[in-house]
Amino acid sequence: MNPIAGMGGKVGLKGTDGIDILNRAKELGAEPVSPQRTAEALGQLFPLKNEIELITYPAEMGEDVAVECGFRPYVIGTIDVGRTDVADTMRACEDLRAHGVDLLLFAGGDGTARDIYTAIKDTVVVLGIPTGVKMHSAVFACNALRAGEVSALFLQNRIKRIREAEVMDIDEDSVRRGILTAKLFGYLKIPYERRHIQGLKASSLPDEHAVQKAIAQDIIENMDDDCLYIIGPGTTTRAILEGLELDGTLLGVDLIQGRRLLGQDLSEKQLLDHIKDKTKVKIIVTPIGGQGYLFGRGNQQISAEVLKQTGRKNILVAATAEKINSLLGRPFQVDTGDKSIDQMLSGYIRVVSGYRERIVYKITH
């Protein structure tokens, strides 16, 4: 548990990364929010307390709240009580992994998710109890109760599969200055849970990974060997590279032509150099994270200038119906930093959502 996560929120500080901000939050009267929400989640695990072993870090990093909830946790590690920081989070993750935990249930925000990813990558299945200020990452349950429920289902082996979920890295300093810069930091493995209840009539829906493969198949079949394809980040677009048996990057922007990889993890400038004087260029992207951003979050390399040169009709959006449905009707968003390009992108667009399947969905800015 990140004990200070979320404290910056109610006092308007956009986050709680860094000791100075924490102190300022405290001065402004911020109260910890993590313990209460963590308790809500642990409450859902309480009926399993004799079947599971709860391993945690000392005092404010989990022990206190676990004891309060009636657990007798196995406590590992040492901390400087009242003065924990990023290093403690990272060390806790490493220690928990070393103890072979089945699930790492954490409480925090984007910063915590980022620290976990840095420490242990995707070697352990994790799930976030949302207690932070910023939660652009897709590793969180929709609320603390649900985090507890999903954890219980996973530990009882009633949720059997896992999915990769985005960890977004938002720079808090920039946000405080009114600029939102976001980068796709990586993917953590979380228990695979349908966002809505599973109905009998719809039980024929295949899982998201199978649909990603179907999308890739459709796109690959329709590829033009003379055309340059800019491939944005994400697991949906990665399936295209996998289908072509190419080693692209999951987080970066890659370039392919004639089923061959021309460049990996390219910058905006490199992209512009490549597409200069080319007549056939297409951009393949998938909305990033749970927010539905098509451009401007996590794929800033595909900049307003790149989009301008490529043109709207050459943008190929790929997304599973499940991903689109999870937006609950909210349109795709764009935020390229150039109002005229955002305007150009707005309106309705065809999305490749399966093999020979398209969805028409709205883009706003």
Partner 1 sequence: MTQKEKKKYRLRENFHQAKWDEPIIFELHTPGERGILVTEAEPGVVEAVGNGISALPENMIRKQGPALPEVSQMRILKHYLRLSQQCLGADFNIDIGQGTCTMKYSPKIHKMLAASPKVTEIHPWQDESTIQGALEIMHKLDIFFREISGMSRFSLQPSSGSAAIFIMASMVHAFHTFHGEAEKRDEIITTIFSHPSDAAAAAVKGYKIITLYHDEDGLVSVDALKEALSDRTAALFITNPEDTGIFNPNIAEFTRLVHEAGGLCGYDQANANGILGITRAKEAGFDLCFFNLHKTFSSPHGCGGPASGALGVTDDLIDFLPVPLVDYEDEKYYLNYDIPHTIGKTRGFHGVFPVILKAYSWVMSLGRAWLKEAAQVAVLNNNYLLENIKKIRGAASPFAAGKHRIEQVRYTWEQLTQDTGVTTEDVTCRMADFGFHLWSSHHPFVVPQPFTIEPTESYSKDELDEYLEGLRTVVEEAYEDPEKVKHAPYRSVVHKIDHSTLDDPEKWAITWRAYLKKDGKDKKE
Which residues lie near partner 1 (CB under 8 A)? 44, 143, 145-146, 149, 158-161, 194-207, 210, 321-322, 324-325, 328-329, 347-350, 353, 356-362
Question: Which one, 280 or 358, has the nearer CB to partner 1?
Answer: 358
349 and 292 Cβ atoms separated by less than 8 Å: no
Q: How far apart are CA 171 and CA 50, in angstroms?
A: 42
Structure letter (DSSP) for residue 312: G
> Least distance (Å) from partner 1 to the CB of residue 239?
15
Q: How far apart are CA 214 and CA 239, in angstroms?
A: 9
- Strand, coil or helix: 79: coil
CA 193 to mean position of chain CA atoms: 15
> Least distance (Å) from partner 1 to the CB of residue 76?
30
Question: Which one, 282 or 323, has the nearer CB to partner 1?
Answer: 323
> Least distance (Å) from partner 1 to the CB of residue 163?
12
Residues 6+ apart with CB under 8 A from 177: none
> Least distance (Å) from partner 1 to the CB of residue 60?
26
Residues 6+ apart with CB under 8 A from 346: 334, 363, 364, 365
Question: Which of 207, 205, 268, 208 has the alpha carbon at shortest distance from 232?
Answer: 268
> Least distance (Å) from partner 1 to the CB of residue 205?
5
Question: Which one, 286 or 300, has the nearer CB to partner 1?
Answer: 286
Q: Which residues are paired to 105 by β-bridges?
A: 127
**Residue burial 200-233, b: 16+ Cβ < 10 Å; e: rest:** eeeeeeeebbebbbbbbbbbeeebeeeebbbbbb
Question: Which one, 150 or 184, has the nearer CB to partner 1?
Answer: 150
Question: Which one, 260 or 356, has the nearer CB to partner 1?
Answer: 356
> Least distance (Å) from partner 1 to the CB of residue 275?
25
Q: How far apart are CA 295 and CA 349, in angstroms?
A: 14
Question: Which one, 264 or 326, has the nearer CB to partner 1?
Answer: 326
